[in-house]
Chains A and B, each alone.
Chain A
């Protein structure tokens, strides 16, 4: 079987054109998963009445359902109910006008929330109880202690686990083709419909996913570095330089304004 470089390149270009959609399918569920996972984990760790129990139940049920099955269920519900619901709220949009990518994002986000809840819960338990108690004894409220003391400490613990999620998520985002959402894999296969160069198409798609996963891994790894060790990392050096430049420009602007005002004052005197 011959491997045609030109077909491969065509697939690569065609696949890359769909990269924004894959990025959306990865980043939005990720953001929702981070937020939702953290909140749900807090419900369980702090044994919030009702919500804690509900979370535990929901997560355990959801983890038993394969993502493809969930996707198809949501899609069927979406297809059959959207028009009625839209009409009920007086929205003129019909189901045919809505990009089905949102169903994919919804399914991936829910999956992400349940996975992250587990990771965050583990990370919560890694922060010693004394940290919370010290914060409360200093007069912080439970929520302030969470935000200022506990969450900042569990992030470095949760990051390695989250990193696996992100990489897994990038790879898994292609399951949405099960309900016909177009993304990188779809894009890379377009030339194959004409040329039958399926191998080239899939290798091209694989390459794009791999590059994306590697880049994500590199970036997230930077958050794992503890604050005291960040001086020796290129990423944080760049961040610090950007921040410094910004403060410098602010200072320069202030100085410029001051000089300007002084000049005006002089002109008045003259």
Chain B
């Protein structure tokens, strides 16, 4: 469904992505693991054109885009068929929870305000926050904000959602509620690419795991294989460090 080929990106001579290719099938959850600075965030940002790649191709079903030279129309088309969940939520500070979820529907998709409101409230109820519909983000906890961030993504009915470390800005006791919502998204059959350091969660929820380092895909495969029998030495070193750091949240 979604296929990425030969993505390259440099920041001032520093090569951050060196020929990254990746496949995501319908309804599939792909997790990306890797040490800090390996280019995970940059990869997701290139897919949504928040960063301009230097090269690479992207195919989303019938939409075929050259990442480096895409025109406005293709950029908009890609953004309107996908959604993004940010590490620090990025809820619109000038809008209530309900308005945050409605914004993309009304302004980008041209849905009528009444229908958008109905859909937004359904989405908020679905993440368990209908009672906070009228609150501004500044008055919500990180976990609540991120759940609204996910509702804002899901309500757009995207073909794939990109999530960049959706829980890493949260206090440990709030991680669980957000992971539960992401599980629900997976259950709905919406494809996702998740960058995460939650190893146990990645193992449980993903169909496919990708390990990146130094801007390259080092190893990929089904979660059982990556976590139990990694082939590459670098994957093994990375996982060993994470697993001994007691970074395991079983929820």
A interface residues (Cβ-Cβ under 8 A, vs B): 128, 130-131, 133-141, 144, 148-149, 152-153, 227-228
Closest chain A residue to B149, Cβ basis? A134
> Which residues does chain B contribute within 8 Å of A139, judged by CB atoms?
76, 79-80, 104, 107-109, 156
Could you tell me if B94 and A149 are in contact, using CB atoms closer than 8 angstroms? yes
Q: Mark B116-149, 1 if CB is under 8 A from A, else 0.
A: 0000000000000000000010110000000000
Answer yes or no: B21 CB below 8 A from chain A CBs.
Answer: no
Could you tell me if B108 and A131 are in contact, using CB atoms closer than 8 angstroms? no
> Which residues does chain B contribute within 8 Å of A152, judged by CB atoms?
94
> Which residues does chain B contribute within 8 Å of A133, judged by CB atoms?
50, 84, 86, 90
> Which residues does chain B contribute within 8 Å of A149, judged by CB atoms?
92, 94-95, 103
Answer yes or no: B219 CB below 8 A from chain A CBs.
Answer: no
Could you tell me if A134 and B84 are in contact, using CB atoms closer than 8 angstroms? yes
Could you tell me if A137 and B84 are in contact, using CB atoms closer than 8 angstroms? yes
Tell whether A140 pairs with B107 under 8 Å between CB atoms, given A228-B136, A228-B139.
Answer: yes
Chain B residue total in the interface (Cβ 8 A): 27
Closest chain A residue to B139, Cβ basis? A228
**Contacts A/B (CB < 8 Å), 13 sampled:** A128-B90, A133-B84, A134-B84, A134-B90, A135-B92, A136-B48, A136-B50, A137-B82, A138-B107, A138-B152, A140-B103, A149-B95, A227-B94
User: A115 CB to closest chain B CB, in angstroms?
Assistant: 25
A175–B141 Cα distance when bound, in Å, is 53
> Which residues does chain A contribute within 8 Å of B93, judged by CB atoms?
131, 153
Closest chain B residue to A134, Cβ basis? B90
Closest chain A residue to B94, Cβ basis? A152
User: B54 CB to closest chain A CB, in angstroms?
Assistant: 20
Could you tell me if A137 and B103 are in contact, using CB atoms closer than 8 angstroms? no
Closest chain B residue to A151, Cβ basis? B94
Could you tell me if B94 and A137 are in contact, using CB atoms closer than 8 angstroms? no
User: B45 CB to closest chain A CB, in angstroms?
Assistant: 8
B interface residues (Cβ-Cβ under 8 A, vs A): 48-50, 76, 79-80, 82-84, 86, 88, 90-95, 103-104, 107-109, 136, 138-139, 152, 156
Could you tell me if B50 and A138 are in contact, using CB atoms closer than 8 angstroms? no
A148–B108 Cα distance when bound, in Å, is 11
Closest chain B residue to A147, Cβ basis? B107
Query: Which are the 3 A-B pairs with shortest beta-carbon distances?
Result: A139-B108, A138-B104, A137-B84
Given contacts A148-B103, A149-B103, 16 further A-B contacts (CB under 8 A): A128-B90, A131-B90, A133-B84, A134-B84, A135-B103, A137-B79, A138-B83, A138-B107, A139-B107, A139-B156, A140-B107, A149-B92, A152-B94, A153-B93, A227-B94, A228-B138
A137–B164 Cα distance when bound, in Å, is 13
> Which residues does chain A contribute within 8 Å of B80, judged by CB atoms?
139
Tell whether A227 pairs with B107 under 8 Å between CB atoms, given A135-B92, A137-B50, A137-B84.
Answer: no
User: A231 CB to closest chain B CB, in angstroms?
Assistant: 13
Tell whether A130 pairs with B86 under 8 Å between CB atoms, given A141-B76, A149-B94, A228-B136.
Answer: yes
A136–B52 Cα distance when bound, in Å, is 14
A55–B166 Cα distance when bound, in Å, is 40
User: A61 CB to closest chain B CB, in angstroms?
Assistant: 33
User: A216 CB to closest chain B CB, in angstroms?
Assistant: 25
Could you tell me if A153 and B94 are in contact, using CB atoms closer than 8 angstroms? yes
> Which residues does chain A contribute within 8 Å of B107, judged by CB atoms?
138-140, 144, 148
Closest chain B residue to A153, Cβ basis? B94
Could you tell me if B108 and A138 are in contact, using CB atoms closer than 8 angstroms? yes
> Which residues does chain A contribute within 8 Å of B156, judged by CB atoms?
138-139
User: A235 CB to closest chain B CB, in angstroms?
Assistant: 19
> Which residues does chain A contribute within 8 Å of B95, judged by CB atoms?
149
Closest chain A residue to B135, Cβ basis? A228
A153–B197 Cα distance when bound, in Å, is 33
> Which residues does chain B contribute within 8 Å of A144, judged by CB atoms?
107-108
> Which residues does chain B contribute within 8 Å of A135, judged by CB atoms?
92, 103
In-complex Cβ contact of B83 among A131, A137, A140, A153 (8 A): A137
User: A159 CB to closest chain B CB, in angstroms?
Assistant: 14
Tell whether A131 pairs with B50 under 8 Å between CB atoms, given A138-B152, A139-B79.
Answer: no
A144–B139 Cα distance when bound, in Å, is 25
A164–B108 Cα distance when bound, in Å, is 37
A153–B94 Cα distance when bound, in Å, is 6
A153–B91 Cα distance when bound, in Å, is 12
Pick from B76, B84, B88, B108 the residue with the most CB of A within 10 Å: B108
A187–B111 Cα distance when bound, in Å, is 56
> Which residues does chain B contribute within 8 Å of A130, judged by CB atoms?
86, 88, 90
Could you tell me if A136 and B79 are in contact, using CB atoms closer than 8 angstroms? yes
A148–B94 Cα distance when bound, in Å, is 9
Pick from A134, A149, A228 the residue with the most CB of B within 10 Å: A134
